[in-house]
Amino acid sequence: MNSGAVGSAPDKIELRRDVTVWGSFMWGYADVGADIYVALGLVMAAAQGATNLAFTMAGLVYIMIGLAYTELASTYPVAGGGPYFTLRGLGDFWGVIGGSALLLDYTIDIALFAVASIGYLNALLNFVLGINLTEFSVALGPLDVKAFWLVETLLLIGFLVWLNIKGIRESSLFNEVVGIIDISVESAIIIFGLVLAWQPELLVRQWTMEFPPIDKLMYGFSLAIISFVGLESISQAAQETRRPATIIPRTSITLVFTVFIFAVSFSTLSLGILPWDSFVGHEQDPVALLASKIPLLGIVAGPLAAALGASILAISANTGVMGASRLTYSMSQFHLLSAWFNKVHSRYRTPARTIVIFSAIGALQTVLSFLTPSVMDTLANMYAFGATLGYTLVFIALIKLRFSDPYSPRPYRMPLNIKWRHNGRNVDVPILGLLGMMGMVIMLFTVVLTHEIGRIAGPAWVLACLTYYFWYRRSRGLSLLGSVKRDWEKEQREVLTSAEEFEMLEEYEDALAQRDKKAGRV
């Protein structure tokens, strides 16, 4: 087998760095911030009176994931995100497993958030015109398909494909404009809801009288993982972000705590305004329902929340398109996928092929989910498996890279570390990384136990991707279970040079020189 490094063409067109600090934050917020618009109704149906506890539990794991991604994405600012970190830390085989898990989530992300975006759009039309297009259905034999909702969703996905092919700058601007409006409206709903409508006694009654069985609480806890993928999106855009080592720690940490506060606040607010079962049947527009129940303002707040829900979920689906295309772009560069996938459009300098292919897969998942009794629950059910598997591998890779690559400068390092002597060096072992890894293993176990569709469709997707991977590697004469030989030091120099992180580059060169001096190489 040929295990040598494979070079790339010197005139290869690269992704361009157009994402600013605000654009980086909004790439993440578009995905993570949209979580509450989708997850609130789904988690409420499962966790019932303990919905805010489910969001808090998931949020604590999410904070540790956020800190891990902050360290890794600022240390290795390249497109690829979690699978790149897994590849670099654990090797090709585990890299492709992490990539396939995350790719499942990105295609589901496109489908789930596009479906939910149209759900809120139709809720807006229902507020304004009294017409509920979501319920318009067509009988196909024994199936009752909500055809209008389906067609609207497919049109939205088509628009997002065009937008992402056009370019990262235009796509990022779309996120930024809608995102700032959404943050303002979400804050207003929380403030006015607490002042005008919140009843602490209703919250206490639901906690004491409507607390769910443990299996339902854990199912709701696992559904809240929908909020996690936005941090992945920040790292996916790292190769197109200006000065990523400076920007990414700021945006990631700010995003972590912004979204945590919003998720816990909305769920606590909801339990103090409405009985949890009021949200059953409103999985596609729970925030609009909540806003409409605020006294005095509800007549305006309901439609406004529906409009903003449609917008923020559209940019979240947009982030899914971007994430899937950049992920496959990165995987093909490292010979986990065919080089056909890493071609960049000659005019727009975007990975147009992968944008089209994986958006089409998201569209197919959308069509198939509309053939089930609950389109939202079906997509959310499939989502959790990929996220839990992918993030478990990221935590393992984080710990491994602390040992195998101690020389790369880390502009941000996860807090709470203990010293470990390894090969004559003191290595900082991240305690929060170990706790996060254990938390993700528990969540993965919960998903396998409680998600009937996810535990079948998720592993089937990973096996299908592995089948392709083995075929591709065999056709190229590359090792099936081993790794292609790579010069990671050269790779890191090129990454830091491209990112214009010259201080980090100098620090890296000094660390390597000290290593070589100790080893007697110079």
Domain ranges of the chain: 21-486
| pLDDT above 90 as % of the chain | 46
* pLDDT for the residue 235: 63
- Each residue of 15-52: pLDDT tens digit? 444 455 666 676 667 667 777 898 899 999 999 999 99
Report the range of poorest mean pLDDT among 6-15, 240-249, 375-384: 6-15
Q: Over 80: is that where the pLDDT of 226 sits?
A: no
* pLDDT for the residue 7: 41
Q: Give mean pLDDT, residues 474-491.
A: 93
User: Using 50, 70 and 90 to split pLDDT, how confident is the model at 6?
Assistant: very low
Q: Over 70: is that where the pLDDT of 309 sits?
A: yes
In CATH terms, is domain 21-486 a member of 1.20.1740.10? yes
Please state, in angstroms and rounded to a whole number, the distance separating the CA atoms of residues 228 and 226.
Answer: 6
Of 53, 101, 61, 73, nearest in space to 441 by CA: 61
Which H, E and C letters describe 186-206, residue by residue?
A: HHHHHHHHHHHCCCHHHHHHH
* pLDDT for the residue 166: 73
* pLDDT for the residue 112: 92
- Each residue of 269-283: pLDDT tens digit? 999 999 999 998 888
- Each residue of 315-345: pLDDT tens digit? 788 878 877 877 887 788 888 988 888 777 6
User: Using 50, 70 and 90 to split pLDDT, how confident is the model at 11?
Assistant: very low
Average pLDDT, the chain: 85
Q: How many helices (H) and strands (E) does the chain have?
A: 19, 4
Q: Which residue has the tokens 């207003």?
A: 188
* pLDDT for the residue 518: 83
User: Using 50, 70 and 90 to split pLDDT, how confident is the model at 79?
Assistant: low
φ, ψ for residue 140, nearest 5 deg: -120, 90
User: Using 50, 70 and 90 to split pLDDT, how confident is the model at 396?
Assistant: very high
DSSP string, 61-109: HHHHHHHHHHHHHHHS-STTHHHHHHHHHH-HHHHHHHHHHHHHHHHHH
